[in-house]
Amino acid sequence: MPDPSSSRVRLLVSVRDAAEAALARDGGADLIDGKDPERGALGALSAETVRAIVAVCGDRLTSAVAGEPRDAAEASACLAALAGTGVGYLKIAWAPGRDAAGLLLPAGTPVIAVLFAEDGPDGADVPGLAQAGFSGAMIDTQGKDGRRLTDHLALPRLAGFTAACRAHGLLSGLAGSLRLDDIPDLAALRPGYLGFRGGLCAAADRTGRLDPARIAEAARRLSAPRVAAA
């Protein structure tokens, strides 16, 4: 598991199948994330597809989204459906302040809570996530209408979130219709990961196919000395 206190910001690329996973792997993605872009912000893939993604990634770290449950019981079922796929992390939508009573996290597979920017999350939400047993926390946008993460939340609020994650030992991530030009400002906040989908697809269409050149450019920008120094 990556060190949540590390200053290195890694690249997360969301993929829909094994072919895209190979593109992300070869382009330099640090974390290859299985997600169905046709099914909203956190559309889950089938267990079979997730297994195929894991198989082509070799020793590259993987994750898979498990959906947008209404409550802890539904979240437990969504996570259980993908727990045996061999994926490194599972991600589940989680509303700020949601009651975690009855939440069953799968043994042996760390789970990342994904908070939606439209709900206004901040650092104050992090202690409860750590107490519930999550291994990480990420902010994404739920509506894929062209608005980006920073259209919903200002940089100081995002900085408070990533700082709270470090303080509580949680891996952090920032995503939400990000563009390559967002990398310097967001990397300076020291999240564990910056997550991309649409910004790495041709014509910025998240339901289209990934562009290998854009993946490589994102990896290059994140490894640039000035980003690493931030």
Residues involved in catalysis: 35, 91
First to last CA, the chain: 22
| CA within 13 Å, CB half, 21 | 26
Q: How far is C-alpha 116 from the chain's CA centre?
A: 11
Distance between CA atoms of residues 97 and 146, nearest Å: 27
One-letter identity of residue 209: R
CA distance 135 to 157: 21
CA distances from 159 to 19, 128, 173 (A): 35, 18, 11
Q: Beta-carbon neighbour count of residue 212 at 10 Å?
A: 16
CB contact burial 154-185 (16+ within 10 A = b; e otherwise)? eeebbbbbbebbbebebbbbbbbbbeeebbee
